[in-house]
Amino acid sequence: MERNYIEQMRVHAGMSVGELVDEMGKAGVFGAGRLYKAVEIYQRIVSENEVFKLVGVAGALIPGGMRKILRDLVANRMVDALVLTGANITHELVEAFGWRHEKGIASVGDAALREIGINRIFDAFVRDEAFEGFETKIKDCFSAIDEEKRRDGLGSYELMREIGMMLNDDESILKTAAKNEVMIFCPGIFDSILGLHIWMFSQQNELKIDLRKDLQKMIDTYYETKKVGAVFLGGGVPKNYTLQAAMLTGRALDYAIQITMDRPEPGGLSGASLQEAQSWGKVKPEAEWVDVIADVTIAFPLMVAATMERLTRKQEEP
Amino acid sequence: MERNYIEQMRVHAGMSVGELVDEMGKAGVFGAGRLYKAVEIYQRIVSENEVFKLVGVAGALIPGGMRKILRDLVANRMVDALVLTGANITHELVEAFGWRHEKGIASVGDAALREIGINRIFDAFVRDEAFEGFETKIKDCFSAIDEEKRRDGLGSYELMREIGMMLNDDESILKTAAKNEVMIFCPGIFDSILGLHIWMFSQQNELKIDLRKDLQKMIDTYYETKKVGAVFLGGGVPKNYTLQAAMLTGRALDYAIQITMDRPEPGGLSGASLQEAQSWGKVKPEAEWVDVIADVTIAFPLMVAATMERLTRKQEEP
Amino acid sequence: MERNYIEQMRVHAGMSVGELVDEMGKAGVFGAGRLYKAVEIYQRIVSENEVFKLVGVAGALIPGGMRKILRDLVANRMVDALVLTGANITHELVEAFGWRHEKGIASVGDAALREIGINRIFDAFVRDEAFEGFETKIKDCFSAIDEEKRRDGLGSYELMREIGMMLNDDESILKTAAKNEVMIFCPGIFDSILGLHIWMFSQQNELKIDLRKDLQKMIDTYYETKKVGAVFLGGGVPKNYTLQAAMLTGRALDYAIQITMDRPEPGGLSGASLQEAQSWGKVKPEAEWVDVIADVTIAFPLMVAATMERLTRKQEEP
Amino acid sequence: MERNYIEQMRVHAGMSVGELVDEMGKAGVFGAGRLYKAVEIYQRIVSENEVFKLVGVAGALIPGGMRKILRDLVANRMVDALVLTGANITHELVEAFGWRHEKGIASVGDAALREIGINRIFDAFVRDEAFEGFETKIKDCFSAIDEEKRRDGLGSYELMREIGMMLNDDESILKTAAKNEVMIFCPGIFDSILGLHIWMFSQQNELKIDLRKDLQKMIDTYYETKKVGAVFLGGGVPKNYTLQAAMLTGRALDYAIQITMDRPEPGGLSGASLQEAQSWGKVKPEAEWVDVIADVTIAFPLMVAATMERLTRKQEEP
C-alpha cells in the first residue's frame, strides 16, 4: 500500500490561521486532519462557479459569538442561502434591535437568575428586557408588512427578507442578506419565541405563514443549480431540511461539511455521519465531505478565517 | 454534613427490571442514580392527579424499536400529549401502512446501498419501496379528509388525529392516540418526508397546515392544567416547543426528565441541562428533574418497565 | 439483500431483566442492539469451556456501586482475572477496611468540601477519614507480608493476593478473588494512593513491586489458554494492558465487549472501537465483539443480571 | 448584576492565530471562551517566575502530529516536566529511530490491514516494520546503559534521560528533553510496547525499573517549587499521577488546563472537571483553571501558537 506519511505539525509565534491549518493538513489525521479537509472543501464551495452554497445553523450560535462571521459570509457572498432555527432568528433580532447577550457568571443559581430576569444559555445570559424589547419591535415589523402579503401568507424566507429590509443595523445577518439577495429559510419558525409572536400577532391581525412556499422555493433553487455545497453547524432542522430537498430533487450534495459534537451511535440525524446521507441520495457517492467533531465556536471561525486567507492568496498570485 | 451512604448494587438471575432499578437507587450516583431518579419522577408524573403528561421525541426512535413502548404509553394513558418530529411520524406511518424497518449490515457501503434502494439510519435500514408505499397511502389519507377542513387549515395535531382515525394497525401510535384522545403535535412537520408530501399534494389539492393552531391548542392545554410533567427523549424541536409553551403560559414544569447523549458545553438546547430551563421559567425552581445521559433505546425501555412494575406493585398493596 | 426485520420492543410490568434484554435483541439496533449483543457474547464467554475470562475496569466504579457485582462475578467464577486501576484497588480497600462512599450533595462547592475534608468523585463523596483509615490499615497489611517476599519484589497480582488473604470482609473483591484463585492485576499501581503508600512504606521498610512479574504471569496465562474473552469497563490501562498481552502472545481475543462513553475520533485507545484492535492482532478477525456506548453503571448491571438469568434458564432446561 | 457583554467575533484573511484567539476572548462563551482562557492561563504559566510547568499527555498524540509541538515546548522551556504514557514514548521512539506514522485509508478493513502488517490508530497507520525496528533499536539502547544503573534500578525519568542522550534525531522529544534538563516521567511504563521490551530484555539481562524513584523525584520537585501549573492533554495516568503528587505534597496546582473530549458524568477521572480536583486539594481554590472540551489536535496547536505570539508581542513592547 502506498505510503502517505504524517508530517509532524509545527507552530510558531505570529503564524496566520491559514498557516496553522496548513500544518494541520500535513498531519492529516484525527480532528486536525478533518478541520483541514473542511477548509479544502469550503474553499472549493466558494471558489467554483455554479455551486449553490448553503449554510445550516442549529444551536445558540449568536449568543456564541458567531453573528458577524455569518454576516460577513453573507456580505462576501460566501453563502447563497442560510437555513436557521427560529431561535437563531430571535437571537439575531435581539441584537439587531439593540439588545445584547452577556457572558454568564457561573456561581449564580438558575432559580436566582429567574428572580432577576436573566435567562441562561450554558454560560451566556440574555435578559428578559431583551425579549420584551424584541416583542415591541417585532410587532412593529409585522405591522409594517403589506397587509395583502400578510393575508396571502408568506414563506419564512419572504418574512425574513421583509424584516431584513426594515432593520437599521449594518451588522445584522438579516439586513445584509436582504441587501445581498441571500435567502434565509426558517422551516421550524413556530418552534421559537419569534413563532410565538407570530401567533400572538395573528390573533388580532392578519399574518399567515405558509411553509409550503419555503419548500417550493428551496426545491426550485435546487433544480436551477448545477452543484450544491453545504456547511452544517450543528444538526437539527436546518440539516434535515437541506438534505431532504437534495433527496427530493435528485440534486445530491457535491460538497458537504458538518461541525458537531453530537455522536452517531444513538441514531439521530443530528449526529449522523454525512456518509450515511449517501445511502439516501442526499450526498453524492463521489462528493467531498467531512464530519468535524468539534465545538462550532472553535472550529467555524478557524475554518472561515483560513478559507478567507486562501482566497486572498489566490487573488494575489500573478 | 449528614451521611447518605452509597449501597453497593447486587444483581441476581431472574430479577425484575424494577428490582434492578431499585438497586441502582441504592447506589444512587453516576448514570445509575440518574436512571433511578427518572423512574421516581415518572412514577409521580403518571400517579398524581392533575398532572398533564407530555412526552417529546426526537431522533429515529421508531427504527430504534420504541414504537410499541410509545404506543402502550398512549394506550395506558401514561401520556396525554406527544410532541414528535416529522420524521417520527413518517417512520410510524411507514410501519402503520405495512412496511418495516430492518437491521442493517455494516459491511455494505452507502453508495452500494443507494444502488439497491436502501436508506441507512445508523445500523437500521429502510427501503425505497417503504417510502413509495408511504407516498401512495398518505395521499389517500389526505384525500379522505373533509375538504372544508383542508381548506380552513389544520393544526398538526388535527392532521394527526385525522390520519390516526383512518389507520387499521392496532399497534399504531397515531391510531391508539386518536382512539384514546391523546394529542400528537408535530410543530416541525414541514421538515420531513411527510411535509414534502403535504406540499406536493397541495400543489393540486386543498391542504393547508396552520401551525398557529398548534400553538393555540398547546397553550390552552397548559392553562387548563394544574401541573405539568414532561419526558424528553432526545432534544430538538419537541423539547424546545414543549418548554417554550411552559414559558409563555407561566406554567413551568413540575416534573421533567430528559434522556440524551448530547453534551451541554456547545450551548445548544438539545444538550442543555434541564436545570438551565429554570432560569427561563420553563422548569419550576422546586421541580423534580433529571438529565439521564444515555442512549434512549437502553434507558427508556428500562424506565418504562420499571415504572409499570411500580404501578402494579402499588395496586396490589392491600 | 436478505431482510432481517426490526421487531418493535414491548415492555410490561414485572418483566425480568433477561426478558427486557431479549426485547432489545428483537429490535437489534442502536444502543439496545449492542447491549443485547454484549449479553450474547458474555454468555458465551462464561459458558464455553477453555475460555480465559478477563474483566478490565477503569473509572471510579466502586464509588459507582459496582463492587458487589464484580465480587459476585469473582465468586461465581464468571471471571478468571481482573485488571484494575490503582484507584479501583484503593476504593475497594477503603470499603473492605470499613469506610464508605457517600452520595454527594451538588450544592456544596468544591472549595467548601475541601474545608470539611470531603473529596468529590462527580456526585459521589469520600471523606479524608476514609483515606486516613486506609493509610493505617494498608501499612499493617504491608507489614504482615513475609519480608523475604517483600525484598524479592512482588508482582501486583501477588500483592493483591497477599492483601486479599488478610481481609475480613466477605464482600471484598480482593478477598473473594484470593479465595477463588482469581488473579487481580494492577499494572498502573504507582499511579494511585495505594502506590503512594507503597512508596512511603518502602522508605523505611522493604517493599519492592516488580511489574515485570505481572507481564510474565499475564503472558504465561495467555499461552496456557485456548481462547480468550474480555470485558472492558472503561478503557485506560486495563484495556491497553489486556490487549497488548494478546498481541505479544499471538492469542488474539475470541470474544470482546467494551462499555464506554469515550469517543473514537480523538484517536485515544480508551475510546477506540474494538474493531481497530483487529488490525493489531489483538482481537481475532472472526471474533465476536461489541462496543456498547453507555454509562457502565447502567449497562454493566443490566448485562450481568441478564447473563445470570440466561445461565439459570439453561440449567433449568430438561 | 454587572453586565459583561459578548462581543461578536470577526475574522479576516491573514489574521494571526493570536488575533483569532483574541476574538474568541471577546465572545468569551462556549468552547471559544474556554480556549481563550486556556491561552490566558498558559501565558501565565510560562511567563511567571517560580512556576513549575507540567504537561501530561495521554492518547496517540505522536501519530496525531503533535510531536514537534511538544518538542518545541521542551526546547523553549515552556515545560519543565512531561508526564507521558508508555505508548507516547513508544510512538516518539518509533519516529526517533527513523520510522514513520502514516495517514490511513478508511476503505481497508482491519482484518485486511493485519494481513499486510499495518496497525491502525483511528485514521493513522503504523506498520509492523516500525515496531520491529523499534525492538532492535531499543535493545541497543538498553544495552548501552551502564550495567550498574540497570542493576540498581532506574526510575522511568532516568531511563528516559538515558535513552534521550543516545538519540540522533534533533526533532526527538526525548533527546531535546535530555539536553534541556526537562524531565520525562512515564509512570505507566509497563503498560506499553516499551514495557514489554523492558520485560523481554530483562529475561536475559539486568534491567530493573523502580517506579518508586519516580514518585520520589516528582514529590521532591513539588516541594522545591513555589507554584505549579499543569496542562493535561487527555486524562489517563498522566493526569492522575500529576494531580496525586499535588495532593500528597500539599502543593495544589495554581494553574491548570485540560483539553479532552471525555465526559464528566460517568465519574472517571479522565473526564472529570478540574473543579472537582479542588475538593481533593489537588487544585487550589483560588487557582485559574479551565476545561477545554475539544480534540487535542485542534485546540493544542491553536493554544501553543497563540501563546507563543503573545510572548513575542510582550518582548517587542518598548
Residue A263 domain flag: yes
pLDDT band at A45 (very low <50, low <70, confident <90, very high): very high
Residues in chain B within 8 Å Cβ distance of A222: none
Strand A124-127's sheet: what is its strand order?
A102-103, A124-127, A118-121
Q: What percentage of chain D has pLDDT greater than the value 90?
A: 96
pLDDT band at D316 (very low <50, low <70, confident <90, very high): confident
Decide if B33 and C6 are in contact by the 8 Å CB cutoff: no
- Of C163 and B105, the one with more pLDDT: C163
**Residue linked to cell 511489574:** C211
Residue B33 domain flag: no
Decide if B192 and A64 are in contact by the 8 Å CB cutoff: no
pLDDT tens profile B83-92: 999 999 999 9
Reading the block at residue C39, the C-alpha cell is 449479553
Whether residue D318 has pLDDT greater than 70: no
CATH number, domain with residue A197: 3.40.910.10
If one counts the domains in chain A, the total is 1
Question: Helix, strand, or coil here: B76?
Answer: coil
Question: Helix, strand, or coil here: D290?
Answer: strand
Find out whether C258 and C236 touch, Cβ atoms under 8 Å: no
Residue B41 domain flag: no
> How confident is the model at residue B318, as a pLDDT?
67
Q: What is the rounded distance in angstroms from the CA atom of residue B274 to the CA atom of residue B289? A: 7
Q: Whole-number mean pLDDT of chain D?
A: 96
Residues in chain A within 8 Å Cβ distance of C267: 29-30
Chain D residue closest to A3 (CA)?
D102
Beta strands A118-121; A124-127: pairing state: antiparallel
Residue D10 domain flag: no
Decide if C297 and B32 are in contact by the 8 Å CB cutoff: yes
CA distance C80 to chain D (A): 20
Residues in chain A within 8 Å Cβ distance of B196: 215, 244, 248
Mutate which: A191, A218, A232, A278, vs B, most B CBs within 10 A: A191
Chain B residue closest to C72 (CA)?
B10
Q: Which is the catalytic residue, given C37, C227, C282, C284?
A: C282
Q: What percentage of chain B has pLDDT greater than the value 90?
A: 96
Decide if A293 and C265 are in contact by the 8 Å CB cutoff: yes
pLDDT tens profile D244-272: 999 999 999 999 999 999 999 999 999 99
- Assess whether C282 carries a catalytic annotation: yes
DSSP chain C: ----BPPPP---TT-BHHHHHHHHHHH--HHHHHHHHHHHHHHHHHHSTTEEEEEEE-SSTTTTT-HHHHHHHHHTTS-SEEEE-HHHHHHHHHHHTT---EE--TTS-HHHHHHTTEEEETTEEEEHHHHHHHHHHHHHHHHHS-HHHHHH-B-HHHHHHHHHHH---TT-HHHHHHHHT-EEE-TTTTSSHHHHHHHHHHHHS---B-HHHHHHHHHHHHHH-SEEEEEEES-HHHHHHHHHHHHHHT--EEEEEEEE---STT--TTT--TTHHHHTTSEEEEEEEEEEES-HHHHHHHHHHHHHHHHHHHHH--
> How confident is the model at residue A108, as a pLDDT?
82
Residues in chain D within 8 Å Cβ distance of A296: 30-31
Question: Helix, strand, or coil here: D207?
Answer: coil
Strand C183-185's sheet: what is its strand order?
C183-185, C81-84, C51-57, C227-233, C253-260, C283-293
Reading the block at residue B108, the C-alpha cell is 455494505
Residue C249 domain flag: yes
Chain B residue closest to A242 (CA)?
B191
- Provide the 10 A C-beta neighbour count for residue C261: 27
**What domain range is D257 assigned to?**
17-316
pLDDT tens profile D65-112: 999 999 999 999 999 999 999 999 999 999 999 999 999 987 789 999
> How confident is the model at residue A318, as a pLDDT?
67
Residue D5 domain flag: no
A244 touches chain B (CB under 8 A): yes
Tell me, what's the ipTM? 0.97
- Of A70 and C318, the one with more pLDDT: A70
Q: What is the rounded distance in angstroms from the CA atom of residue C73 to the CA atom of residue A221? A: 62
Neighbours of C, requiring at least 3 CB pairs below 8 Å, are: A, B, D
Nearest neighbour of C266 by CB, restricted to A30, A263, A265: A30
Provide the β-strand partners of residue C291. C258
Neighbours of B, requiring at least 3 CB pairs below 8 Å, are: A, C, D
Give chain C's residues under pLDDT 50: none
Whether residue B153 has pLDDT greater than 90: yes
Chain A residue closest to D315 (CA)?
A13
> How confident is the model at residue B316, as a pLDDT?
83
Mutate which: D263, D273, D276, D295, vs B, most B CBs within 10 A: D263
Residue C7 domain flag: no
Smallest CA-to-CA distance from C125 within C93, C94, C80 is with C94
Residues in chain B within 8 Å Cβ distance of D29: 267
**D6 DSSP assignment:** P
Residues in chain B within 8 Å Cβ distance of D266: 30-31, 293
A210 touches chain D (CB under 8 A): no
Q: What is the rounded distance in angstroms from the CA atom of residue D87 to the CA atom of residue D100? A: 15
Q: What is the rounded distance in angstroms from the CA atom of residue B138 to the CA atom of residue B163? A: 8
For residues D21-37, give the mean pLDDT: 98
Q: Which is the catalytic residue, given D137, D175, D217, D282?
A: D282
Residue B263 domain flag: yes
